[in-house]
Amino acid sequence: MGKWKLAGAALAVLSCAAATSNADTTAYPKGPVTLVVPFAPGGSTDVIGRLLAERLAVALKQPVVVENRSGAGGNIGATMVAKSAPDGQTLLFGTTGIMAINEFLYKNPGYRADRDLKPVAYTASISNVLIVNNDMPVTSVADLIKLAKANPGKYSFASSGAGSSTHLSGELFKNMAGVDLMHVPYKGSGQALVDLVGGQINMIFDNAPSAVPLAQSGKVKALAVTSATPLSVLPGVPPLTEAGLKGYESLSWTGVVAPAGTPQSVVDRLNKELNTILADEAVRKKLTELGAQATGGTPQDFSTHIEAERAKWGKLVKEANIAVQ
């Protein structure tokens, strides 16, 4: 009889432990969630990140605080998240540069995207827009190429950081157009856009969410988009592939990632909530207005996309002989 009582007590303890374990797994999040945007406020990554953070806070019933950690092409913010506790309380709003390019441009970025960060959800695909200062004596891509060829090294293009899609879009343009432009990296596109409007720099291949409002307001001139098709929010602005650079295409993208080792249950919960948010018509409309397109899909879908992008941009960095920093 004593043996049965002992066995029963042991079973009860195991049941309690299992219940506790399940409670720990499902009780997410355990307080406010931090979404690290690895660029300065005001750029497209920040704009989209804040839009999704606001909706995610409602879904998780906890505050989702956006923290801007800019610098080194996004490496500072990415490294911070990579070294954070793998509990889903600290997330990264990843980009093309951070997840697929920086490893080819930096000797020591501080993290390895394929080892230290776990894909959660692919959130948006974004065209870049070639915008120039209003004082630039050009009205088309052909005008710009002619001017740049006549004045090698005189004109500058800004980016949101070395290795960002805004940087590589410019390098691809230089390579295909055969022009010499000076690259000026910033800690995000926010200040770069201020300097573009002010005339301190000449042009930028900026993400559509932050470039479109400036073009629509007449503060800059939009010459082309980097997608293969036009953007409905910029009627009359052609794709670069139709404006003299056949075959040109360069898209930026964003996605939520977590530290490696984050429980799959947490990743799946976040993926589910983000897909629901991205399917919302109001969110999709807002992204379209910004020049972006909601994507979504499974964590594996996002992982597959990242691998394809690593192959594409790694090849460009090598072929264009872009200096490793």
Classify the C-alpha dihedral 71-73-75-80 as positive or negative: positive
Among 246, 251, 247, 229, which residue's Cα sits nearest to residue 238?
A: 229
Query: According to DSSP H, which parts of the chain are helical?
Result: 2-26, 44-60, 75-82, 96, 102-105, 113-116, 141-150, 165-177, 189-198, 208-216, 264-279, 281-290, 299-319
At 224-272, the pLDDT tens digits run 999 999 999 999 999 999 998 999 999 889 999 999 999 999 999 999 9
Average pLDDT over all residues of the chain: 90
The tally of CA atoms less than 13 A away on the side-chain side of residue 210 is 27
Q: Do the Cβ atoms of 204 and 166 come closer than 8 Å? A: yes
State the residue for tokens 């919302």: 280
Classify the C-alpha dihedral 201-203-206-212 as positive or negative: positive
In which band, very low, low, confident or very high, does the pLDDT at 21 lie, cut at 50, 70 and 90?
very low
User: Is residue 6 scored above 80 in pLDDT?
Assistant: no
DSSP, residue by residue, 55-71 = HHHHHHTS-EEEEE---
Q: CB neighbours of 8 closer than 8 A, spacing ≥ 6?
A: none
Could you tell me the domains of the chain?
32-126+251-319 (3.40.190.150), 127-242 (3.40.190.10)
Distance of CA 265 to the CA centre of its chain: 24
At 150-198, the pLDDT tens digits run 999 999 999 988 878 899 999 999 999 999 999 999 988 889 999 999 9
Q: Is the pTM of this model over 0.85?
A: no
Q: Do the Cβ atoms of 140 and 243 come closer than 8 Å? A: yes
